Amino acid sequence: MGSITVETAIVMPLFIFLLINIVTLFQMISIHTSLDSALTQVAREISAFACFQEVYENVLLSEVYVKERVIQTVGRDVINNSVVVGGTSGIVLWRSEVIEENDVIDLVMTYRVRPMFPVFNIGEMTLVNRCYIKAYTGYEKEEYGSERQRYYVAENGDVYHLQRGCTHLQLSISMLNVNELAAARNEDGSRYSPCEVCYDAERSGNRVYITTQGDRYHSSVACTGLKRTIYVISASGIGTKALCTRCGGG
């Protein structure tokens, strides 16, 4: 009876350590899967806004934006209480770029994980999540021949444009700290008020998004209030619209 007690006293701690590390292994797999899913979701959001070149290149592809959106998607407390070393501060976006030759977004995220109670020389490990996705820039099908001219108009616009990338067709989106809203004004000199669609004071962070043409501030850059509908027309659809002085060369 005494020998059984001794053996149990020796084996039981080892069994508990092994059990804890098995659980930790599943935690590593779980957090890796969650972060991978979040990175893919953020990449899709960025891809959908690739046509807004200014905000796409200067805001959406920034390490700060991608990392913050991943953290929001997974949950800050979930990451901080996981096996990720350093919690949210341990997540690094070391490359966020667009491969220009084929408009592909390439996001790479790294972080380190470690077991709760390392045994058998199992220590910290580096994990990598990577998302490789086509930017949604569209394409033009030469269905009617290259000699057919296309023009671009914004919804309810009174001018037509020669170039899809004309800055008059793109919303000028800026990212502000909520503390800067009191002093912010749009192009008409009006103050900004919260967006009825996306803004939630309790769930939103310290960053908001505004446009110089609008009068609302948004908590999500993916909000429908930050989109502009653009139509492709032929010469017969111009009607009485004037030519844009910016992209028309005037």
Give the closest residue to 204 by CA, choosing from 216, 220, 192.
220
Give the three-state DSSP class for 21: helix
pTM, two decimal places: 0.48
- Residues 196, 127: Cα–Cα separation, whole Å: 39
pLDDT single digits (tens) 64-118? 778 888 999 999 999 998 889 999 989 988 666 655 556 778 888 899 998 776 6
Q: Judging by DSSP bridges, how do beta strands 159-160 and 173-177 pair with one another?
A: unpaired
Per residue of the chain (250 residues), give pLDDT as tens. Answer: 556 665 666 667 777 777 777 777 888 889 999 999 999 988 888 777 766 654 455 555 667 778 888 999 999 999 998 889 999 989 988 666 655 556 778 888 899 998 776 655 567 888 989 888 877 765 555 544 444 678 888 877 788 888 877 777 777 777 888 888 888 888 778 889 888 878 877 666 788 888 877 788 888 776 767 776 778 888 888 888 889 887 876 5
Helices 2-48 and 63-74: angle between axes, nearest 10 degrees: 130
Q: Are 133 and 141 in contact (CB under 8 A)?
A: no
